[in-house]
Amino acid sequence: MNDRPRHADDWTDSIRTSLDREAADVADRHADRLAAAHQAALRARPQAPSAARARWTTMLPIAASVAVVALAAVLLSSSPDRPAPMPETTDLELLASDEFELLGDDLEFYAWLATQDAGEPEQS
């Protein structure tokens, strides 16, 4: 059933075994060299004080937040198209002003309106 001779299977198996062994050897050599280079880089790295690093990691977000709030305050306070605020006045001053001269127009209407506000029945 098998068309290939037995010695061809043995030869293929020996080649495969040899290549697998060589690949494992290459991987081991490179892994060792890579681990050695990694250790050398870790030893050569200057050690930064942890207190200074902790200070920066705390102060940087606080400084950024203060900068954002200051920028928002500047942008909101310098809006040129903002309308002028309404003058603070009482109703009596508004009614007594010269601009509000409706009192003399229809006295009967205002008398009727006063009775409506007081809850008195309407007089005919």
Please state whether 107 falls in left (phi above 0), alpha (psi between -120 and 50) or beta: alpha
Is residue 97 one of the residues assigned to a domain? no
Q: What's the pLDDT at 65?
A: 93
Specify the number of domains making up the chain: 1
Is residue 22 one of the residues assigned to a domain? yes
Is residue 35 one of the residues assigned to a domain? yes
Q: Which structural domain, as residue segments, surrounds residue 22? A: 7-45
Residues in the chain: 124
Instruction: Quick: pLDDT tens for 1-10.
Output: 456 667 778 8
Instruction: Quick: pLDDT tens for 35-69.
Output: 889 899 888 877 766 666 777 788 888 999 999 99
Is residue 37 one of the residues assigned to a domain? yes
